[in-house]
Amino acid sequence: MASALARTILARRFHVSASRHALSKFAMPAMSPTMTEGGIASWKKKEGETFAAGDVLLEIETDKATIDVEAQDDGILAKIIAQDGQKNISVGSPIAIIGEEGDDISGAEQLAAEAASEKPSTPAKDEKAPEAPKPEPTKLAEPPKQETKAEVPQGDRIFASPIAKKIALERGIPLAKIKGTGPNGRILREDVEKYQAPAAAAAAPTAAAPQSSAGLPDYTDIPVSNMRRTIGTRLTQSKQELPHYYLTLDINMDKVFKLREVFNKTLGEKDKSAKLSVNDFVLKAVACALADVPEANSAWLGEVIRQYNKADISVAVATPTGLITPIIKDVGAKGLASISAEGKALAKKARDGKLQPQEYQGGTFTVSNLGMFGISHFTAIINPPQSCILAVGATQPTLVPAPEEERGFKVAQIMKVTLSADHRTVDGAVGARWLAAFKGYLENPLTFML
């Protein structure tokens, strides 16, 4: 019995003393491999309240969704350190004190105070980076001019060490604005860390500007959410570092529309809410084209190009807090009805902020459809490490040549699509082959059934 209790204490890393059986610090968990910080959406248990294994303790806001955190064991919530609404809490920082039912929780306040006193040690490290305003003297008129000249010209390839890229991504620093001190101008870790000082220094005069100018228009400052910050950082990095190119094609959707009408009539007799959308056909055609041209179903990993055997398609969904891309797994092996049902369920979870990390991480190809908003044509930014993203526009009636018709022309439903591809992994000819295969499947949708 004693050994079992000892194992439990060690497993849960409890703080043990003579006055209480077991109290421990409950840290901000990492809900995904890329998560570095999160926020407290709401606590579902109150201080002093007991919980059982499987109970939801709290909701955590990550950079992509709001996720329930369940208790792994029975216990009691002795003290809450991070309150509802608190944001930017680093992974591993204490957010509560927990214990076992029957424990003496009088020491929870002291343990919480200890945990709070540990916090300044982490930010202190961060403060040193901005505090290194040794560049402050460099703030004379001439050095900044030289620095801007030394910046990487727009469109040139940026060379940076992996750790420098990682730090820049986490801190939202554009690599194009950093002058590298490594061999051949390569950006090193120290270059990224030193860049923060001028950024912080530049922020001071900017903040002071509104006070000096009285004629500013009315405005509202909206706090940047974790999700919006991540979107901004990742898409900026993608646009700067990935050599995008774009291929656009017109597709005749007449046969898709007719087949969709037949399918929806049949489905409607069984379930009135079950209806196929044009996007369901698009996703199936994407998967079939990826099977024909697997080079487009790939990812750039630095030393290797990874080519995927299945089409796990990320579908862009607009939510009140920003864009997120839930994944429909192995689309090629699924029928249109399954794709439709799964897509609707994932879109609802995305808008409700209830997606689990495994539901939006790990896709191999992305589809972004703005056709329902009447947008005829647009280009999309690649979601790294994926190689491609397909931008789908609205289907519009268009006059097309028709020699078989008496008038020599006819009206066809034409949809314009644009493929954004990473030239490191997908050459132009490969992208063109993939688009041709995609077009072939949509213009002859019965091939889905073969």
pLDDT digits (tens, 9 = 90+) for 267-297: 877 777 778 999 999 999 999 999 999 999 9
Residues 6 or more apart from 106 whose CB is under 8 A from it?
19, 20
Distance CA 233, CA 241 (A): 12
Distance CA 441, CA 450 (A): 11
pLDDT bin (cut points 50, 70, 90) of residue 176 is: confident
Give whole-number Cα distances, 371 to 29, 147, 271, in Å: 39, 44, 26
Task: Give the DSSP H or E segment for 125.
Answer: helix 121-131
Q: 27-31, 141-145, 234-238, 351-355 — which is least confidently predicted?
A: 141-145
What pLDDT does residue 88 have?
81
pLDDT 10s digits, 396-430: 999 999 888 888 899 999 999 999 999 999 999 99
Which strands form 94-99's sheet, in the order they lie side by side? Answer: 23-27, 94-99, 75-80, 50-51
CB 94 within 8 A of CB 81: yes
pLDDT 10s digits, 207-237: 444 444 456 788 899 888 777 888 888 899 9
Pick 444 or 143 by higher pLDDT. Answer: 444
Distance CA 388, CA 379 (A): 11
Pick 265 or 248 by higher pLDDT. Answer: 248
Pick 137 or 278 by higher pLDDT. Answer: 278
Average predicted confidence (pLDDT) for the chain: 80
What is the arithmetic mean of pLDDT over 321-332?
92
The percent of residues in the chain predicted with pLDDT above 90, rounded, is 37
| Most confident option among 5-9, 11-15, 338-342 | 338-342
pLDDT 10s digits, 103-128: 777 777 778 777 777 644 443 333 33
pLDDT bin (cut points 50, 70, 90) of residue 27 is: confident
What is the arithmetic mean of pLDDT over 256-265?
92
Concerning whether 427 is annotated as a catalytic residue, the answer is: yes
Q: What are 44-53's contacts with CB under 8 Å, separation 24+?
A: 45/77, 46/77, 47/77, 47/78, 47/79, 47/80, 48/76, 48/77, 48/78, 48/105, 49/76, 49/77, 50/74, 50/75, 50/76, 50/77, 50/101, 51/75, 51/76, 51/77
Concerning whether 377 is annotated as a catalytic residue, the answer is: no
What pLDDT does residue 443 have?
96
Pick 128 or 59 by higher pLDDT. Answer: 59
Give whole-number Cα distances, 165 to 91, 178, 189, in Å: 20, 11, 8
Report the chain's C-alpha Rg in angstroms: 27
What is the arithmetic mean of pLDDT over 157-166?
76
Pick 185 or 302 by higher pLDDT. Answer: 302
Q: Is the pTM of this model over 0.75?
A: no
